[in-house]
Each structure stands twice: as C-alpha cells, then as structure tokens.
Amino acid sequence: MTQREKDFPALLERLRPECERIIAQYEQKRSALLPMMHLFQQNEGFVSQDAMQAAAEMLDLTPAEVESTVSFYTLLYRRPVGKYVLQVCRGLPCTINGAEDIMAYFREKLGIGHLQTTGDGLFSYEEVECLAACDRATCMEVNLEFAYDLTPAKIDEMLAAMRAGTYPVAPMPQTAAPASTWAVPQDGQVGDGKKAPGAVGVESPDNAGGVGDASGLIMLDNIINRDVYFFHRTQERAVVESRSVAELVEEEAKEGDRAGH
C-alpha cells in the first residue's frame, strides 16, 4: 500500500462535509459528480481510483458509471501528473501566430513531448485545441490559468519561475509520483489507428450504417417501431418521457400541412 492510499481515508473524512454540501445543491445526487471529482483532484493532484470509489458510494452510482464520466473529460486526470500542467493551444489563430514554433520550443526546453511528464515530476506537457483566447494568441494554460502572448523569452521566464517556486500560479498537489505519461492506453487506441472493442470482429466497423447497409436499416426499424426517449426540463436536468418516433413524425407532418394552407 502506497502512502497516498494510507492517507486517503483521512482525506476522505476531511472532504466529506464539502462533498455533502455539493450534493445538497442538486435535485439529483449524481449531478454532483463532476464538482466532487474536481475537489478530489485539487487535493490529490489527480482523480484516483479511491476517489472514484468514494464518489460512487456517496452518489449511489456504480464505479463504472463514475469512471466512464471521469474518462470523458480531459481535464480530469486518472493518472498522476506534474505539479505544473502546461497546455499550449494549437488552434488555428494560435497556429497562424506561431504556435508550431512555440510548441517546438517547449518540447526542446522540457525534453518531453505531448502528454508526457518530465523525469523530476515537475512539468506535464499537452498540446490542446482552442482555448478561446484568440485575441491573445499564442496562448496557453498553466494549471488552468491563462498565459498570453507567448514568446521563447517569456517561456524561459515562466519555466525558471516555476522551478524557483515563484510563479504566480500555485503548483498542483502531488500525492503520487507521475509516470512518463498520464495517458491511459485504451483511451488512445482509436487515435492510434486501432479499433475500439466494439469495432473488433464485426463485418464493417468503419461503416456507420448508411443507405444500403443492413445494420443501418435494422437500427432505423428499431427506432420507428419502439418507444424512444424524449426529454423535457426540470429546474436541473433532463428527465425521461417516453414517446414514439412515429407519433412525433406524424404530428410534425400534420403541422406542416396546416401551415401550408
């Protein structure tokens, strides 16, 4: 058992009142999942299996439901990361304004690449999509705080301040030593050209079911001939109201006819 694992019960009890306060804000307990995961990450430096298990118990969810949600969001880390997570924008405006050179400079100075962590555990580096600060390109985030108008000289100053502990953005907690990457292998298999489990051993995993594809016709038939879920709103989130597609299509057709007269 690692030191982090030994310390987790005490951390959980310390965070439990805040978790309960978060849960009380929502009509549905499960809606508290994301803010709770951010809370644990702020205290552990990543979202540990212990944290996901604790959230599942508090929210009456399965561990699988919790991890499937956590794995969807790239700002929730399921593996330890560096004390400073450096996310450089590679969106179009930043690229036009020199992001390729900035990213190359970061890689050179840090000695690592995309989704990698330095050997001393201080820096994790990621090249991300648009950060919505296009008027200050090129830009980046350091532990989710913006840095604008990047130049090699500014990068040198930033890295030196982080190493000296004087950078204005606080380092993330680090309760476990990070590996060389925080990427989870199965998450990248599609991007690497491999097939997801559901696309293995099927006739045509690249065919989404278009015209002339039997699986697509079967899917359409199932949609038309069974009840599917439509949604209306409460004060908080969508709830289920069963209604058939055929009824909806017929109603819309009638409304279209009335509008035409």
Mean pLDDT, rounded, for 4-23: 96
* Distance, CA of 228 to CA of 123 (rounded, Å): 47
Other beta carbons within 10 angstroms of residue 60's beta carbon come to: 9
pLDDT score of 194 more than 90: no
Q: What's the pLDDT at 190?
A: 44
Q: What's the pLDDT at 211?
A: 44
Residues 16-66: tens digit of each pLDDT: 999 999 999 999 999 999 999 999 999 999 999 999 999 999 999 988 889
Contact between 204 and 211 under an 8 Å Cβ cutoff? The reply is no
Closest C-alpha among 182, 183, 155, 159 to residue 171: 159
Q: What's the pLDDT at 221?
A: 63
Q: What's the pLDDT at 245?
A: 53
Mean pLDDT, rounded, for 194-212: 50
Q: pLDDT band at 253, cuts 50/70/90?
A: confident
Other beta carbons within 10 angstroms of residue 103's beta carbon come to: 22
* Distance, CA of 216 to CA of 214 (rounded, Å): 5
Share of residues in the chain with pLDDT > 90 (%): 65
pLDDT score of 83 more than 70: yes
More confident residue, 191 or 11: 11
Q: pLDDT band at 213, cuts 50/70/90?
A: very low
Contacts of 22 (CB under 8 A, 6+ apart): 32, 35, 36, 39
Mean pLDDT, rounded, for 150-176: 96
pLDDT score of 199 more than 80: no
pLDDT score of 110 more than 90: yes
> Domains in the chain, ordered, with CATH?
3-70 (1.10.10), 207-261 (no CATH)
Mean pLDDT, rounded, for 183-203: 56
Please give the C-alpha separations between residue 72 and each of 31, 69, 173, in angstroms, as whole numbers: 15, 5, 22
* Distance, CA of 137 to CA of 151 (rounded, Å): 10
pLDDT score of 169 more than 50: yes
Poorest-pLDDT segment among 12-16, 65-69, 182-186: 182-186
Poorest-pLDDT segment among 57-66, 78-87, 163-172, 177-186: 177-186
Q: What's the pLDDT at 255?
A: 77
* Distance, CA of 21 to CA of 103 (rounded, Å): 41
**pLDDT, mean over the chain:** 83
Mean pLDDT, rounded, for 237-241: 45
Q: What's the pLDDT at 238?
A: 44
Mean pLDDT, rounded, for 216-223: 57
Q: What's the pLDDT at 242?
A: 47
